[in-house]
Amino acid sequence: MRGLAVFLAVLVVLPALASAEQAWPGEPIDNHVHMSWAALTLEVNEWADDYPEIVDLADIGDSELGKTLWVVRISDWSMETKENGEAKEIVYIDGGHHGNEYLGTSLAWLSAKWYINGWNDGNEEAVRVLQNSEIHVLIMLNPDGNDIDTRWNINQVDLNRNYDHYWNTCPTTQPGSSAFSESETSSNSNYMNTVVPDADLYVTMHTGVWIMLYPWGKWPEQPADWELFHGIRDEVQANISEIPIQNANQGLYPNCGTSRDYGYGVMGFPTFTFETDDEQFVPGSFESLDERLEEEMDVMRYLIDNVWYWRARLVLDAFTLDDDEVTFTVSNLGHASTRNATLQYVNGDDILWQSSNFTANASGSTTVTSSGFDYKGGEWRLSYQKRVINSSTWVNESVDVGDYEVGFLAQSLATMVWALQIGAIPLVVICFSFWWSREEKPFTMDEEIPLDAELID
C-alpha cells in the first residue's frame, strides 16, 4: 500500500518539480521530504539536457528491481585536460547505500548541484574546480530501498556490508550471499574499477551520527596513510568544522565489507564515510538544503578543491652525476607519503637503471645517492605509488634532469673528437679541458564516540 501511495505521490508531485529549477526533487512522505528515484531521474536528465557543457549523465547499471543507477559527471567538458595539459583530478562520490538515509543522500545531490549552480553563477571556486577536476556523483545507489523507506535493498541485504574487502568477517547482519552478490554494489565497484580507478578522493555518504570516518572499519589500527588522514582531520577541525574524524573501527564499531574499506583497501583511494546527523527533515529547495548542510558542504568543498594534494607528488629538485654515481633530491609536494619510489633511466619499457628504493614523506624532501649508472639513449622518470597503501596506483612521471656528464670514457672520446675537429690544439689544453669537465656540475631546477544501538554507517 505504501508503495502505491509513493507512486501516486510521485505522479502528483512530478509536474510541479519539473517547473521549479531550484527545487529539491523531493516529495512529502511521513514527516520528511524524501527524494524519490523517479524525481531524481527526471532531475539529473534535465541537468544533462540544460548544461551539456558541464554535465554528462551515465547509466552505470540497474538496481535489483531494474531502476537505473545514474552517475552525474561534472567538469568543464570543453577541455579534456587542465589548461596546462595535465590530467584532471578525479573525485568520486556516492550516496544512498541505505534507502532510509535521506540526508546523506541529499548531501550527495548537493555535492553535484552546488558546482552546477556555481558554474552557472560564475562562482570562481566552482569554475576552478570544474576546469581542473571531474566530479562523479552516484547520488542514489539503493533506489529500491529508497522507494520503500528501508535500510536494505530489495533482497534485504545491507549493501554497505556487501563489498569484496574482508566480506562477512565481522559480526554483522545481512551482508548478502557473497561479496558483490547485489547488482547495486557490483555496478558501483565496476564503475570504480573501469571509469575512476585513478580517483584521488572517494566520499561515500550516509546518515547516522555526525562524523567522518576513514579506514579501517575492519581493524582498530590506523591505516598505512594515517599521515594523510590525520592531516586532513587537523586542517578541517582547525579551519572548517569540529566534526569528529576518526578511524571507522574506533569511531563507530567494527564493520567489514564496506565501500569505504573497499575504496581504500582495494582501490587505493583516500576514502571517507561522511555521516550527516539523523535529524532527517529534508527541506524542499536548493537554497534551504544548502543552508541545512552548509557546514558539511564546506568540508566537501575543501576536500574537492584540494584534491590535487591527496596523493604523493614528487618533483626533482637537484641532480648530479659523478662517474657512475647519481645523487638527486626529490621533494614531495603532496600530503600523502610514498614508499618504494625510484628514479629510473628507461628506454621505452626497458628499465636500464634505477636508483635504490626511497621513501618520500608528505611535504618533505629526500636526497638519494645510487651507483652503477653508465647508460645512454634513455630518459629519466620518477616511478612511485600515489599513496602508501599497497593498492594505490603507480605513476611514472618523466623528469628533466638537464645536462649532465656521461662518464669517463665517453667524456674522453668526446674531448678527443672535439680536439681533432678543431686541430692543432696543444695536448695540455686537451688535458686541461678533460680535467675541467670531470668536475661535478650540480644541476638545479629553477575521542571517543558513544556507540549507537542503531545501525549506521
Nearest distance from residue 251's CB to Zn ion, in Å?
Answer: 14
- Region near Zn ion per CB under 5 A, out of 63-71, 96-104, 163-171, 397-405: 96-104
- Region near Zn ion per CB under 5 A, out of 92-100, 320-328, 377-385, 406-414: 92-100
Using CA atoms, how far residue 386 sits from 156, 166, 194, 293, in Å, is 37, 23, 18, 31
Nearer to Zn ion by Cβ, of 282 and 316: the residue is 282
Number of residues that bind Zn ion (CB under 5 A): 3
Nearer to Zn ion by Cβ, of 133 and 204: the residue is 204
- DSSP per-residue string spanning 51-98: -TTTEEEEEEEE-TT--EEEEEEES-TT-SS-TTSPPPEEEEEEE-SS
Q: In the structure grid, which three cell numbers stand for residue 129, read together?
A: 574546480
DSSP state of 308: G
Which residues lie below 8 Å from residue 102, measured CB to CB, with a gap of 6+?
32, 33, 34, 35, 207, 280, 282
Q: In the structure grid, which three cell numbers stand for residue 4, read together?
A: 502505491
The reply on whether position 311 binds Zn ion by CB under 5 A is no
- Within 10 angstroms of residue 448's Cβ, the number of other Cβ atoms is 8
- In three-state secondary structure terms, 196 is coil
Nearer to Zn ion by Cβ, of 98 and 381: the residue is 98
Nearer to Zn ion by Cβ, of 159 and 341: the residue is 159
Residue type at 91?
V
The reply on whether position 161 binds Zn ion by CB under 5 A is no
Q: Which of 34, 73, 88, 98 lies at the binding interface for Zn ion (CB under 5 A)?
A: 98
Nearest distance from residue 275's CB to Zn ion, in Å?
Answer: 7
Residue nearest to Zn ion (CB): 206
- Region near Zn ion per CB under 5 A, out of 27-35, 61-69, 128-136, 201-209: 201-209
Q: Which of 206, 218, 381, 387 lies at the binding interface for Zn ion (CB under 5 A)?
A: 206
Nearest distance from residue 207's CB to Zn ion, in Å?
Answer: 6
Nearer to Zn ion by Cβ, of 208 and 334: the residue is 208
Nearest distance from residue 209's CB to Zn ion, in Å?
Answer: 11
Inter-residue contact 317 to 54 (CB < 8 Å): no
Strands of 89-95's sheet in order across: 55-62, 68-74, 133-138, 89-95, 201-207, 271-276, 211-214, 245-247
**CA angle (130, 196, 168) in 5-degree steps:** 130
Interface contacts to Zn ion, rule CB under 5 A: 98, 101, 206
